[in-house]
Structure 1
Amino acid sequence: MDRRLLEAAQTGNISFLHHLLAENHYILNTIALNSEQNPLHIASTAGHVEFVKEILRLKPSFAEEVNQDGFSPLHLASAIGHFEIVKELLKLNPKLCCLEGRNRWTALHYAASRGRVDIIREMLLACPESIEDVNVQKETALHVAVKNSQFEAIHFMVKRVREMKKDEIFNMKDELGNSILHLATWRKERQVVEWILDGYTGGANAIVELVNVVNQSGLTALDVLLIFPSEAGDREIEEILKAAGGRRARDMSLSSTPSFENNSTTITDLSADNLVEHFKFKRGRNSPSDARTALLVMAVLVATATFQAGLNPPGGVWQDTTLDGSPGNPSHDAGRSILGSYKSVKYLLFMLFNTIGFSVSIYVIAILISNFPFKWEFRVCIVAINFTYVTAITFMAPRNMWLPLIVFSIVFPFLVPHVFKLFVRLVKLLKRISEISGIQNHFNTVSELFWY
């Protein structure tokens, strides 16, 4: 980097910056060719807000660059605590929160490790999903805050997670299988244990599941607490964990192999409590690869069922050709739908909704196999299947239904991504309306049915 530009960034001298630009209009463009960092890194470290604003105006792409140490400008400002600079960077692009640096640390990880509550608040307002980002050790910002005993930051993030209805984040494990409850009990942080367990939503089963998560060493939070010699405060933490249903792993292993006579009682008790909640997908407990596999299986089943329904409509097809029809036996050609001959509108509605199911399932399959090897070969197969489906349903349809069926079955697959985006916006709008009208609890139940 030009020594004079370095000096301008270190001192925050905007006038000098403009003077250098007047001498060389391309001075900012040449930095990427011969420098390991840009002026925005330096100004963000020094805390020169106005200089940062000017650089962002002149060269906004600098905000996404990572220097030789693995830090973006947002990483540096978050770690040091320059709140105003963080606000300016997030104003430019909220997704900078998810930008990964060395060891996949995000700016939120650095802010959490140093307890920058104001910066954490700003990031979660700009990009709520960043609370789920993990580093190379699979640690969330909550893991990092607990490991660094940043209690104010922990308290704020726990409350924020609750407000966002994302309690499954408490179940997320690091590379050693430790949840934040494992870390809190290991560090004897009674406050953190209370914050996590107090107000935990999802019912009694969910709390018991959280408190009895087992890490890679086969230890629950209670095991981690009791495996070391007793210290002051251990008794209180032990009572809190046991009151929430906490148990030692060896006790669970004994009770998890009941006799055949007790099996029916266990299943009955589970269904009585909340069987739906027990089998619901939860981040941290269920891996994304398992969820992806399940989605792929369901999409294939739906595609198969709707394809078969398109080829074999209700009532079957005519086996003969009759040109002179009667009220009880309308004119028809062999291979045409019987339902379409008698009730053409019902046939049209059946095929429209069947096509919606088929197109959406094919779209989901296309997304899930997007990074597969031979993905282009798979896409050729998908196009071929769509062509055969359209050909089949239009061949069996009454002649007056050909045009609407062809148009819909060809156009709708291209509209599926836009329909999904519209649906997401509609759900967000309904959620906002429900919050205003005071029916938040009812809406949460409905939205869970949509998303899960």
Structure 2
Amino acid sequence: MAESFNIDVVIPPTVEERASEAARIGDTNALYELIGEKPDVLSEIERQEFCDTPLHVAAEAGQTVFALELMGLKPSLAKKLNQDGWSPLHLALKKGHAETALSMLEFDKDLVRVRGKDGYTPFHLAAPTGDRYVLTTILRDCPGCIHDVTNWNDTVLHLAAKANDVNTYQTLLKSLWRSECSTLQIKNLLDFKNRDGDTVLHIAASNKQPEVVRSLTRYCIDLRATNSKNLTAMDILSQAEDQQGSKECLRILRSAQNNRTSRALQHIFDFVSQLAYDARNMSSDKSNALLVVTVLILTATYQAALSPPGGVYQPNSTENDTSATMEIHGIRSTNPLSNKRKNPSAAGASVLSTADFLWFFIPNIAAFNICFVITCFVLISNLTIFVSSTLVVALSLLLSCLLVSAVLVISPNHASTDFMLYYVYSIACFLVIVMYTIALVVVVRKFISRLSNIRHARQKP
């Protein structure tokens, strides 16, 4: 009787399987051996629609060196999705491999915006991890990713609020404030509605999160925004007023809504910040053209103020003529007539009448002030702190000289002097104070941003 033998046939692994195994253990030498055997192995893998490429395997296993080597050979693999709808960066962040994820982002920062399953980008998956360093690094390198939304129109702030992750939310908000986003962009992002019509404030109110509600009220968000159920955040809290946290959230919202002075000041601050953002992000050509125009207007208005139409009275060469002396109108004489009417032939005084003088000097000084503010905005936003501050001080002194000349010397009489002093001079001084306040705010923000970058660099794993 013939004996039967069971022969186990060993099927050798395919090239793709060997590539995946090399990726799992991070063996770059094995990768190049496979390429030597089959030069188009990576191209064949790339042609497959949805699959776990060796880069997916390496990213999920945290094999940073192998992942970077593979991305250098075939960069397009970094944006491929597997059967589950995830890219390699998605998997690296899901598994918590921060070093691998950030190294991949250094290779290509746009990878953080690849849309995967349900429209989730890698940044959407990074938020629930709560890794502050990863979040701040991503926002610093690719600030636009915070505006990406899922298929449900949820931003990363919506997702953090839904997850009741207050720490992640606070990290995102601080990073957003320190980023290059404008005040208007931040406000639009906080007021953005998902498919249910809910803003971040609606979700925070639903989850009874006083810390998030308080941080949102520091911005000029729309407290009366309604969702798809026509409910505001206060309506949601009023329906659950007896639940824990609802009363505190409701108190915060009512206090913010009633504090109109604070909101008005916040609106002004946001408006100024938006102007500074526009000046900072202006192209170099536009910035140079703007400075040329403002400098020309500053020069023309200053010269016109010193040489008004019709000219000024000159000193009389006759020694016996008392009108040959220069009269400063801001300094009143003991003579009662000099307090009522200025000597019409005082040296340096304009020959114009009071009405003509005011009709000329007020628009002239207004044009100078407008160009002064615009020039200071551009300088503060684009130059270093020391240089911009020095130039703002110099322009302020120039403005002071112009006002002193117009108010105390060139005014034809005391009526025009009083009008210029009480109104025009006061407004100009107010503008100077505003500019110095803005400069101080910009300096403080730059200082805080610099400290934040230093701390961020020290936290690098």
TM-score (normalised: structure 2): 0.53
Q: Which amino acid aligns with 2:57?
A: I
Give the match for residue 238 of structure 1: 250
Q: What is the SS of the residue equivalent to 1:30?
A: helix
| Alignment partners' CA distance in 2, 1:227 and 1:117 | 35
Give the match for residue 22 of structure 1: 36
Deviations along 1:118-174, whole A, 9 cap, x unmatched?
221121111101111111111100101111122221011111222234431111111
User: Any residues of structure 2 matched to 1:327-338 within 5 Å, and which?
Assistant: none
The counterpart of 2:115, out of the listed 71, 94, 100, is: 100
- Contact 1:225–1:238 under 8 Å retained in 2: yes
Q: What is the SS of the residue equivalent to 2:86?
A: coil
| Alignment partners' CA distance in 1, 2:19 and 2:56 | 12
| Alignment partners' CA distance in 1, 2:19 and 2:130 | 33
Instruction: Tell me, yes or no, if structure 1 residue 172 matches structure 2 residue 192.
Output: yes
Q: Which amino acid aligns with 2:253?
A: L
| Alignment partners' CA distance in 2, 1:90 and 1:59 | 15
| Alignment partners' CA distance in 2, 1:70 and 1:171 | 29
- Contact 1:158–1:196 under 8 Å retained in 2: no
| Alignment partners' CA distance in 2, 1:76 and 1:44 | 6
| Alignment partners' CA distance in 2, 1:83 and 1:440 | 41
Over 3 Å counting, the alpha-carbon distance change for 1:435 and 1:150 in structure 2 is farther
- Contact 1:44–1:77 under 8 Å retained in 2: yes
User: Any residues of structure 2 matched to 1:16-415 within 5 Å, and which?
Assistant: 16-34=30-48, 36-164=51-179, 165-166=182-183, 167-168=186-187, 169-197=189-217, 199-200=218-219, 206=220, 209-228=221-240, 230-245=242-257
- Contact 1:115–1:145 under 8 Å retained in 2: no
Give the match for residue 8 of structure 1: 22
Q: Which amino acid aligns with 1:86?
A: A
Over 3 Å counting, the alpha-carbon distance change for 1:99 and 1:224 in structure 2 is same
| Alignment partners' CA distance in 2, 1:444 and 1:96 | 35
Count of equivalent residues? 270
- Contact 1:78–1:119 under 8 Å retained in 2: no
| Alignment partners' CA distance in 1, 2:89 and 2:441 | 34
By how many angstroms is 1:228 displaced? 2.7
Q: What is the aligned-residue identity percentage? A: 29
By how many angstroms is 1:443 displaced? 11
| Alignment partners' CA distance in 1, 2:75 and 2:33 | 20
Deviations along 1:404-436, whole A, 9 cap, x unmatched?
xxxxxxxxxxxxxxxxxxxxxxx9997342567
Give the match for residue 394 of structure 1: none
Over 3 Å counting, the alpha-carbon distance change for 1:46 and 1:225 in structure 2 is same
Q: Which amino acid aligns with 1:431?
A: S
Q: Which amino acid aligns with 1:245?
A: Q
By how many angstroms is 1:37 displaced? 2.6
| Alignment partners' CA distance in 2, 1:133 and 1:175 | 14
| Alignment partners' CA distance in 1, 2:239 and 2:258 | 15
- Contact 2:139–2:176 under 8 Å retained in 1: no
- Contact 1:13–1:51 under 8 Å retained in 2: yes
| Alignment partners' CA distance in 1, 2:196 and 2:53 | 37
Give the match for residue 344 of structure 2: none
Larger Rg belongs to: 2
Q: What is the SS of the residue equivalent to 1:210?
A: coil
- Contact 1:434–1:443 under 8 Å retained in 2: no
Q: Which amino acid aligns with 2:16?
A: D
| Alignment partners' CA distance in 1, 2:378 and 2:51 | 42
Deviations along 1:50-93, whole A, 9 cap, x unmatched?
11111112111111212222111111112222111122221122
Deviations along 1:236-259, whole A, 9 cap, x unmatched?
111101001179xxxxxxxxxxxx
TM-score (normalised: structure 1): 0.54
- Contact 1:170–1:180 under 8 Å retained in 2: yes
Give the match for residue 294 of structure 1: none
| Alignment partners' CA distance in 1, 2:378 and 2:110 | 19
The structure with higher relative contact order (CA 8 Å, sep 6+) is 2
Deviations along 1:372-396, whole A, 9 cap, x unmatched?
xxxxxxxxxxxxxxxxxxxxxxxxx
Q: What is the SS of the residue equivalent to 1:29?
A: helix
- Contact 1:12–1:50 under 8 Å retained in 2: yes
Give the match for residue 293 of structure 1: none
| Alignment partners' CA distance in 1, 2:20 and 2:134 | 27
| Alignment partners' CA distance in 2, 1:115 and 1:246 | 34
- Contact 2:191–2:222 under 8 Å retained in 1: yes
By how many angstroms is 1:212 displaced? 1.8
| Alignment partners' CA distance in 2, 1:17 and 1:211 | 57
List, as ranges, runs of 4+ consecutive aligned residues in structure 1 with deviation greater than 3 Å.
427-432, 434-445
| Alignment partners' CA distance in 1, 2:87 and 2:191 | 29
Q: Which amino acid aligns with 1:11?
A: I
| Alignment partners' CA distance in 2, 1:443 and 1:217 | 44
- Contact 1:114–1:150 under 8 Å retained in 2: no
| Alignment partners' CA distance in 2, 1:246 and 1:137 | 33
The counterpart of 2:383, out of the listed 419, 424, 433, is: 433
